[in-house]
């Protein structure tokens, strides 16, 4: 009987039921805002509903940074997780690191 309770679908249903019950029990603590005609119950959205002056962000500097972040972290992950027992894996990881270095050089060669 005890093993049955630890099956993933059963655990999921138990957690879901407890969460739903707690949600219903503590729903009286939630703030209930009444909608007004002037938008008093709406969330603040960076300009109070004036949609003519929306921000137009420029992502041209974001993508090189994201590429650098990805290369640096994946290269570190490869260096730290490659097993040192076999020479073949060390060679493959060294080739990968050289490729990442070339990618970083291309990224910053302006």
Report pLDDT digits (tens) over 75-103: 888 888 877 777 888 888 888 889 888 88
Confidence of residue 17 (pLDDT cuts 50, 70, 90): very high
CA atoms within 13 A on the CB side of 9: 1
Place of tokens 């041209």: 60
Mean pLDDT, the chain, rounded, equals: 79
Structure tokens at 13: 């249903």
Q: What is the pTM of this model?
A: 0.41
Of the candidates 60, 72, 78, which has an alpha carbon nearest to the alpha carbon of residue 104? 72
């Amino acid at each position: 009987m005890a093993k049955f309770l630890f099956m993933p679908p059963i655990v999921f249903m138990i957690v879901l039921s407890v969460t739903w019950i707690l949600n219903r029990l503590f729903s009286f603590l939630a703030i209930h805002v009444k909608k007004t005609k002037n938008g008093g119950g709406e969330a603040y959205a960076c300009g109070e509903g004036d949609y003519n002056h929306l921000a137009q962000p420029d992502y041209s500097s974001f993508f090189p940074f994201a590429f650098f972040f990805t290369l640096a972290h994946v290269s570190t992950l490869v260096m730290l997780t490659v097993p040192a027992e076999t020479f073949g894996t060390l060679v493959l990881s060294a080739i990968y690191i050289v490729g990442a270095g070339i990618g970083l050089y291309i990224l910053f060669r302006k």
